[in-house]
Structure 1
């Protein structure tokens, strides 16, 4: 039976931990040096560019791109509302007009009178970074984030599944050689990060999900259980 283990990692009941919390792009830092923060506090935020959508306006109007400028009602940088009119042909005697409306909410990135194509950008995406640990802000990285320090119990893993999570650590085994017993995963584990000893079987993971455990730390997992959990090899 193939198994995944993580030897040589740190397990200690007391360590001074420093955690960098950095934005993917420059933005705004919400705390200052010396501030006390909780794990769920937001410490920095920024706006990521929205998705770019090519839109062939000349084709939608049914005109040659070089004539598109005679019908377009918007310009680069304009803010769009979904359904807002972007262009309109004159039609015949005021009839049979062709009106093209914006397919999205966002803004106009660029307009090409050579190709008749517009690049539309969807609204910016807000991104906020949490502290992730309780502690004190010991350093502020201007426009990027912070470094937080605390004194913690620390159990280190080599890889993880899922996104970031946090919670109180709860050890539910008596030894690091023990395989967790399902009966030890109960309602007292809800919102906790549980430490499961040498191995965590798939049944234990499923029960932890049912109980509402925030996270699991274990010395190993059977590779077949990992494949079943992920749904692929």
Structure 2
């Protein structure tokens, strides 16, 4: 005869990235989770999906997050900085068991030193450094957008999910912050219509020398304009929120900030 001995099966448990309602089931693959949440996309990030309570570590979007701002009370938390997180602060955060950092800017030289290698154009998100970093504005010292900072400030203490995965080439992937709304009825949530770029639309500049600045659309000239590179492109006139400066930029150099 034949005897088959089998150990008890080991259940595979996967933690959901966010709280919500299962909207669909994909057999032998996974599920789709629907949630009503505050959603913020960053410019760059490193590290995998992590979940923790949100904690403000600075008082204003212009404050630098240094190692002295990080204490034992931040262990297991996702903390928010302002214009920059220093290399010493990120090391301190790892040492104390901070799960994640959300900040306006980060020095590119510090990134190479922190990772131990030059990142290049690879997809990020798989780094095993003990922490996840989401940069909302760009490289260098850049004040976090006031609206972003206020959203995070108002959500302090709430369960938050972040993911540092970033890809800047074809098939763009942005790092993200997801904060499920407490006791929100998903069925009652209404999505604002996407009207594209209109006068008054909030945009972010995504090219130098004003990279990361938030501005308001003032006008949308109909006819294409020849720019210094001699290309003929559609342009947009914007007014920056930081100092009220008006400028004309190619429309491809800005992205809409969805409300």
| TM-score normalised according to structure 2 size | 0.38
State which structure, 1 or 2, has the greater radius of gyration over its C-alpha atoms: 1
Q: Which structure has more strand as a fraction of its residues?
A: 1
